[in-house]
A and B are shown apart, each in its own frame.
Chain A
Amino acid sequence: MTFNDNALRDIGLSYLSITAEKDITKDFIDAITIQCVHEENGHKEVSLKGLNYIDEELPNGVAFLALMVLAAHKMIREANVHPNNYFVHLRKLLNIPLNNTVSRDGLGGGVEEPLWLAWNSWLEKHSWEPTAQKGDGAMIYLNYTIGQALFRDEDIVFLKGKYLRTLSLPEGLRALDESQLGGWLRRQQFNRAHLRSGFESSDTGRTAVFFDEAYKIYQTLDWDQPIENVGSVADFITTRKLSAGLYRQTSTRGITSYYMMPRVPNQWKAVDIEIQTDNGEYKRLEIFRPSLFKPLWPIDPFGNAAKSFPLKGSSQFEEIVFPAREFWILTRDPDDRYGGALATWKKYPSLLGEEFQFLLLIKGDNDSVLLRQLNRFKESGLIQWDGEPIVRKGFLEYNGCMILSSAWDGIIPDEDASELYEALKPVAKASVILSSGLKVPNQNAWIEKYPPTLTVYGFEKDFTLRISCGNVEIQQTEIEAQKPQILKECESSGTYRLEVLWNNQVLASITLRIIPWDEVEPNNFETSRWSDIGSAIISGGQIRAKEDSHG
Chain B
Amino acid sequence: MANIKYLLFRGIGSKQRLRDDIRSAIREFRLGMEVPILKFEGGGGCQFYYGLGLSIDNVYVTAPSARVLYLLDYLKIKPIKNTMGRWFFENEEISKSFLKDNFEYESFLEPIKFESSSLDLDEDLFTYHEDDLIDDNSQDDTMMNHLLWWCSAKGDGSLRVFKDTAKLLWPQGFETYGSRSLMRKLLLLGDIEIVKKGQTYEWGIPPTTIVNSSYAGAYITGKMTPSILKNLHGAIKTGSHGGPTRIVINLPDVGNVFPVIEKPSEKISEALPSYLGWIKTLPGEPDIESHNYSFRIYNGRDFVATEGEEICSGFYEAKRIEGNHPPKVVVFNGTLWIGGAFYDLRWLARKVSGVDMSVYITKDGTLLVPNIERWPLLYERPLVLASGLLPLMKSIEGKDILVYASVGRAVAEVLTKKLELNLIEA
Interface residues of A (CB under 8 A from B): 186, 189, 193, 196-197, 200-202, 249-252, 254, 335-336, 338-340, 352, 357, 381, 384, 386, 399-400, 402-410, 412, 425-429, 436-438, 440-443, 447, 450, 457-461, 481-482, 502-503, 505, 507, 517-523, 525-531, 533-536, 538-543
**B206 contacts A539, C-beta separation under 8 Å:** yes
* Assembly CA distance A408 to B197 (angstroms): 40
Question: What would 4 more interface pairs be, CB under 8 Å, given A402-B112, A520-B149, A540-B222?
Answer: A517-B146, A522-B208, A523-B153, A527-B155
Known: A202-B57, A400-B118, A505-B33. A436 touches B164 (CB 8 A): yes
B1 at the interface (CB under 8 A from A): yes
**A338 contacts B199, C-beta separation under 8 Å:** no
**A338 contacts B158, C-beta separation under 8 Å:** yes
**A533 contacts B273, C-beta separation under 8 Å:** yes
B140 at the interface (CB under 8 A from A): no
A399 to chain B, nearest CB (A): 7
B410 at the interface (CB under 8 A from A): no
The digit string for B156-200, where 1 denotes a CB below 8 A from any CB of A, is 111111001100110000000000000000000011111111111
Instruction: Find chain B residues with CB under 8 A from A339 CB.
Output: 122, 157-161, 200, 202
B367 at the interface (CB under 8 A from A): no
Instruction: Find chain A residues with CB under 8 A from B156 CB.
Output: 523, 527, 529
Known: A338-B158, A525-B155. A507 touches B33 (CB 8 A): yes
* Assembly CA distance A399 to B203 (angstroms): 26
**B268 contacts A540, C-beta separation under 8 Å:** no
B397 at the interface (CB under 8 A from A): no
Select B227's contact among A189, A400, A520, beta carbons within 8 Å.
Answer: A520
B68 to chain A, nearest CB (A): 13
Known: A403-B112, A542-B206, A542-B209. A522 touches B37 (CB 8 A): no
**A523 contacts B122, C-beta separation under 8 Å:** no
* Assembly CA distance A407 to B55 (angstroms): 12
**A400 contacts B117, C-beta separation under 8 Å:** yes
Known: A412-B101, A530-B195, A540-B192. A381 touches B90 (CB 8 A): no
5 A-B Cβ contacts within 8 A? A520-B149, A520-B226, A523-B154, A529-B156, A543-B264
B372 to chain A, nearest CB (A): 25
**A529 contacts B146, C-beta separation under 8 Å:** no
Task: Specify the chain A residue showing the minimal Cβ separation from B192.
Answer: A540
Q: Which among B55, B161, B165 has the highest number of chain A CB atoms within 10 Å?
A: B161
Known: A197-B58, A403-B112. A541 touches B273 (CB 8 A): no
Interface extent on B, as a size class? 35 or more
**B271 contacts A523, C-beta separation under 8 Å:** no
B263 to chain A, nearest CB (A): 10
Task: Specify the chain A residue showing the minimal Cβ separation from B61.
Answer: A193
Select A338's contact among B39, B119, B381, beta carbons within 8 Å.
Answer: B119
* Assembly CA distance A522 to B190 (angstroms): 17
Instruction: Find chain A residues with CB under 8 A from B261 CB.
Output: 541-543
Select B53's contact among A409, A482, A518, beta carbons within 8 Å.
Answer: A409
**B226 contacts A440, C-beta separation under 8 Å:** no
Instruction: Find chain B residues with CB under 8 A from A436 CB.
Output: 164
**A186 contacts B2, C-beta separation under 8 Å:** yes
* Assembly CA distance A518 to B226 (angstroms): 5
**B111 contacts A460, C-beta separation under 8 Å:** no
The digit string for B212-246, where 1 denotes a CB below 8 A from any CB of A, is 00000000011111111000000000000000000
A431 to chain B, nearest CB (A): 10
**B193 contacts A540, C-beta separation under 8 Å:** yes
**B60 contacts A197, C-beta separation under 8 Å:** yes
Known: A197-B59, A251-B198, A403-B112. A335 touches B1 (CB 8 A): no
Q: Which of B1-22 contact A (CB under 8 A)?
A: 1-4
**B114 contacts A404, C-beta separation under 8 Å:** yes
Select A408's contact among B1, B113, B191, B192, beta carbons within 8 Å.
Answer: B1
Task: Specify the chain B residue showing the minimal Cβ separation from A455.
Answer: B115
**B202 contacts A249, C-beta separation under 8 Å:** no
Q: Which among B116, B122, B155, B190 has the highest number of chain A CB atoms within 10 Å?
A: B155
Instruction: Find chain B residues with CB under 8 A from A251 CB.
Output: 198-199
Select A405's contact among B2, B107, B211, beta carbons within 8 Å.
Answer: B107
* Assembly CA distance A507 to B273 (angstroms): 61
B91 to chain A, nearest CB (A): 5
Instruction: Find chain B residues with CB under 8 A from A539 CB.
Output: 193, 204, 206
* Assembly CA distance A539 to B118 (angstroms): 32
A377 to chain B, nearest CB (A): 13
Instruction: Find chain A residues with CB under 8 A from B105 CB.
Output: 407, 409-410
**A381 contacts B111, C-beta separation under 8 Å:** yes
Select A402's contact among B114, B205, B268, beta carbons within 8 Å.
Answer: B114
**A531 contacts B194, C-beta separation under 8 Å:** yes
* Assembly CA distance A248 to B224 (angstroms): 31
B272 at the interface (CB under 8 A from A): yes
The digit string for B379-403, where 1 denotes a CB below 8 A from any CB of A, is 0010001000000000000000000
**B1 contacts A202, C-beta separation under 8 Å:** yes
* Assembly CA distance A63 to B385 (angstroms): 52
Instruction: Find chain A residues with CB under 8 A from B327 CB.
Output: none
Task: Specify the chain B residue showing the minimal Cβ separation from A458.
Answer: B112
* Assembly CA distance A425 to B3 (angstroms): 11
B86 at the interface (CB under 8 A from A): no
Known: A412-B96, A520-B150, A534-B271. A529 touches B90 (CB 8 A): no
